[in-house]
Amino acid sequence: QVRIEGSVKRLPEEESERYFHSRPKSSQIGAVVSRQSTVIPDREYLRKKNAELEERYRETTVPKPAYWGGYILQPDVVEFWQGQTNRLHDRIVFRRLRD
């Protein structure tokens, strides 16, 4: 297990846009076709929608969806936990030093 504590902020729109377009076109289309946490009818729906968008954006740029973006995590604590069969578990914690 890995646990991280820290502050999180939204990635600026320009950086999200730049990163989205640095990815392969197939990944960009995949991000549009399969919006995270959205229920889809079935796999065939994904295949058809993917083929449709591949055709639509064959010669043009895939627009970054408004919902797509990233976050920046500034970690203060990172903890690694590994269970052992004898219950003498390994737990390693790193904490950011403050000035």
pLDDT for residue 3 = 97
Catalytic residue among 43, 87, 96, 98: 87
Give the CATH number of the domain where residue 10 resides: 2.30.110.10
In 3D space, the residue among 94, 99, 49, 57 whose CA is nearest the CA of residue 76 turns out to be 94
What is the C-alpha to C-alpha distance for residues 69 and 59, in angstroms, rounded to an integer?
24
pLDDT for residue 13 = 96
Confidence of residue 16 (pLDDT cuts 50, 70, 90): very high
What is the C-alpha to C-alpha distance for residues 98 and 89, in angstroms, rounded to an integer?
28
| Chain mean pLDDT for the chain | 94
pLDDT for residue 37 = 85
pLDDT for residue 7 = 96
Question: If you average pLDDT over residues 61-70, what whole number do you get?
Answer: 95
Structural domain harbouring 82: 2-95
**Active-site residue flag, 98:** no
Residue, of 22 and 39, whose pLDDT is higher: 22
Among 4-8, 27-31, 65-69, 84-88, which stretch is predicted with the lowest mean pLDDT?
84-88
> pTM of the entire structure?
0.72
Confidence of residue 38 (pLDDT cuts 50, 70, 90): confident
As for how many domains the chain has, the answer is: 1
Q: Look-up: residue for tokens 């959205």? A: 38
Contact in structure between 20 and 70 (CB atoms under 8 Å): no
